[in-house]
């Protein structure tokens, strides 16, 4: 079980509060936890369909007041790129 996933669940259920920055980094951490699996599947030629990934995460966070889009992109660098 992914650690970040549990915290994200608590955040989405409004059981805990997080700053916008912390929430963004948590969602990014969740993607990084899955990166080895995603990369392995892609290398095997498997097509992955994700309903929410880096670009949508950046757009969602950057739309919030006080969130800089270039800052939001930083923790996504190095993840498999969507195509």
pLDDT digits (tens, 9 = 90+) for 36-48: 999 999 999 999 9
Which residue segments constitute the domains of the chain, with CATH numbers given?
3-76 (3.40.50.300)
Report which of 53, 48, 23, 51 is spatially closest to residue 38, judged by C-alpha positions.
Answer: 48
User: What is the spatial distance between Cα 53 and Cα 19, in angstroms, rounded to a whole number?
Assistant: 20
pLDDT at position 6: 92
Average pLDDT in the 63-82 region? 94
Q: How confident is the model at residue 3 (pLDDT cuts 50, 70, 90)?
A: confident
- Give per-residue pLDDT as tens, 6-56: 999 999 999 999 999 999 999 999 999 999 999 999 999 999 998 778 889
């Amino acid at each position: 079980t992914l650690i970040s996933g549990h915290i994200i669940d608590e955040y989405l259920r409004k059981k805990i509060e997080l700053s916008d920055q912390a929430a963004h980094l948590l969602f990014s951490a969740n993607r990084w936890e899955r990166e080895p699996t995603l990369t392995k599947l892609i290398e095997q030629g498997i097509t992955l369909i994700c309903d929410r990934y880096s670009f949508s995460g950046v757009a969602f966070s950057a739309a919030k007041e006080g969130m800089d889009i270039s800052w939001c992109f930083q923790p996504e660098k190095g993840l498999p790129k969507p195509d």
